């Protein structure tokens, strides 16, 4: 007999999580502010609790997936969480997660925070993983069940860490793809299609992640951790001038300049702070300080 699971929140993510637990044979109890969203899951064998308190009472493991942490407060305020491990996989800021951990303790429960790194169709599929933070021993007790959503990746006891990792990955994802769209928009002005450019972008992204002279993910990590920013072969000043040209190219093409300007400004702030002869990794010194 599989352990019971309660799922609070039935948006696209929570519904898929509930369906995954159900499909794996867990007695699954649901609660959602809009009860009607539970109908297809109830048809598949889940139990819809009439109140959030009753849903929580049904299982030691309570998985929450809602728009934000305010939704958890709205849903579970005043609910007895004694003996419950609440695993919240919603988006929030790291400090908010730290506060939520205290809030959950004050209601008698334990909060494990998480950031799930796939969209609904990826849940439970190969390659899916979730960053978790908070009390490791509570996470471990439910690891087998949670692994059904994706690989369990524990990143530390600080409850804010799961979101720091999650948002770092999201920022990387969004900014890389926005830079890709910027490149496409620039090339379009000269009649080059996105499909024509895609293979070149693929080469760059592959090389950045590989070992080799363009393997900058590893190169920058080593330089940043060691605090050395060698720039003999390609100085940051040279690259800042190049970034000016990217801004000019965007202006000439009549496309948006916000993204190139932000990048150019970061480069020049690092140069102006004395890193002109250093290499690209010295840009991190400008990022670390709010101007």
Binding site for ligand NDP (CB under 6 A): 9-14, 32-34, 37, 65-67, 70-71, 74-75, 90-91, 116, 119-120
Nearer to ligand NDP, 74 or 102 (CB): 74
Nearer to ligand NDP, 90 or 235 (CB): 90
Nearer to ligand NDP, 122 or 230 (CB): 122
In the complex, the smallest distance separating the C-beta of residue 70 from ligand NDP, rounded to whole angstroms, is 6
In the complex, the smallest distance separating the C-beta of residue 97 from ligand NDP, rounded to whole angstroms, is 12
Nearer to ligand NDP, 120 or 230 (CB): 120
Cβ neighbours of residue 64 under 8 Å, at least 6 residues apart? 7, 8, 9, 14, 72, 75, 76, 86, 87, 88, 89, 90
In the complex, the smallest distance separating the C-beta of residue 120 from ligand NDP, rounded to whole angstroms, is 6
Which one, of 118, 25, 33, lies nearest residue 74 by Cα? Answer: 33
In the complex, the smallest distance separating the C-beta of residue 200 from ligand NDP, rounded to whole angstroms, is 28
Cα-Cα-Cα-Cα dihedral of 107, 115, 145, 18, to 10°? 80
Beta-bridged to residue 62, according to DSSP, are 6, 86
Nearer to ligand NDP, 18 or 243 (CB): 18
In the complex, the smallest distance separating the C-beta of residue 10 from ligand NDP, rounded to whole angstroms, is 5
Nearer to ligand NDP, 28 or 66 (CB): 66
In the complex, the smallest distance separating the C-beta of residue 44 from ligand NDP, rounded to whole angstroms, is 17
Torsions phi, psi for 193 (to 5 deg): -85, 160
Quote the DSSP letter at residue 282: G
Nearer to ligand NDP, 31 or 154 (CB): 31
* Range list of H helices, the chain: 12-23, 39-43, 52-58, 69-76, 94-106, 136-141, 143-146, 161-188, 194-209, 216-226, 236-253, 258-270, 283-288
Residue whose beta carbon is closest to ligand NDP: 11
In the complex, the smallest distance separating the C-beta of residue 121 from ligand NDP, rounded to whole angstroms, is 9
The CB-based long-range contact list for 280-288 (8 Å cut-off, 24+ gap) reads: 280/216, 280/220, 280/229, 280/231, 280/234, 280/236, 280/239, 281/219, 281/220, 281/223, 281/224, 281/229, 282/229, 282/231, 282/236, 283/236, 284/220, 284/224
Quote the DSSP letter at residue 131: E
Q: What is the CB neighbour count within 10 angstroms for residue 289?
A: 9
């Amino acid at each position: 007999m599989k352990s019971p699971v309660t799922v609070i929140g039935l948006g696209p993510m929570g519904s898929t999580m509930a369906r995954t637990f159900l499909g794996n044979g867990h007695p699954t109890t649901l609660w959602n502010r809009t009860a009607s969203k539970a109908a297809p899951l109830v048809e598949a064998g889940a139990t819809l609790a009439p109140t959030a308190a009753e849903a929580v009472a049904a299982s030691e493991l309570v998985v929450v997936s809602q728009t934000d942490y305010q939704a958890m407060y709205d849903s579970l305020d005043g609910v007895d969480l004694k003996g419950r491990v609440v695993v919240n996989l919603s988006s929030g800021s790291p400090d908010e997660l730290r506060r939520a951990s205290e809030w959950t303790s004050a209601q008698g429960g334990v909060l494990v925070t998480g950031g799930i790194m796939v969209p609904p169709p990826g849940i439970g599929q190969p390659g899916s993983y979730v960053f978790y933070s908070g009390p490791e021993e509570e996470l471990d007790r439910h690891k087998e069940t949670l692994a059904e959503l994706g690989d369990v990746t524990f990143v530390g006891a600080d409850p804010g860490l799961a979101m720091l990792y999650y948002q770092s990955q999201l920022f990387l994802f969004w900014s890389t793809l926005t830079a890709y769209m910027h490149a496409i928009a620039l090339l379009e002005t000269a009649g080059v299609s996105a499909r024509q450019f895609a293979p070149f972008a693929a080469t760059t992204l592959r090389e950045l992640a590989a070992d080799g002279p363009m393997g900058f993910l590893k190169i920058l990590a080593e330089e940043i951790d060691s605090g050395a920013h060698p720039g003999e072969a390609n100085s940051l000043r040279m690259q800042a001038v190049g970034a000016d040209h990217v801004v000019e190219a965007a202006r000439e093409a009549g496309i948006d300049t916000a993204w190139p300007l932000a990048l150019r400004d970061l480069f020049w702030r690092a140069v102006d702070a004395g890193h002109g002869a250093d290499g690209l990794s010295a840009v991190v010194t400008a990022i670390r300080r709010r101007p």
